[in-house]
Amino acid sequence: MILNANEVIGFVAALLTTIAFLPQVYKTWKTKDVSSLSLPMLSMFFIGVILWLIYGTLKQSPAIIFANGTTVISTLLLLYFKLKYQK
């Protein structure tokens, strides 16, 4: 795994789009309010993120693997909250 300048930008990007889900997971967990979260969005996003993981592995891109490996967990949690708390 070579970490050149490009990969540093990729990692910062990955870090931001990954960390971004944490306040959402926390907010949803805390408030149990899922009214404005879209179920089709979460479902498609979840499947997409799994495909990104495969793509990142094929492309040997550490940033893509790291980002999507973490996001898959956040998205799974949001999907669970949405199904559990929606009226």
User: Among 2, 3, 29, 40, which residue interacts with its own copies (rule: CB under 8 A)?
Assistant: 40
Min CB(47)–its own copies separation in Å: 6
Q: How far apart are CA 19 and CA 17, in angstroms?
A: 6
In the numeric block, which tokens belong to residue 86? 């929606």
Q: Which residue's structure tokens are 């907010």?
A: 27
Query: For the window 17-36, what string marks contact with its own copies as x by the rule CB under 8 A?
Result: xxxxxxxx-xxx--x-xxxx
Burial tier of 62 (Cβ tally within 10 Å: 0-12, 13-18, 19+)? middle
Write the interaction track for its own copies spanning residues 47-76; mark x where CB under 8 A is met and - where it is not: xxx-xx-xx--xx-x-xx------------
- Which CB atom, from 36 or from 84, has the smaller least distance to its own copies? 36
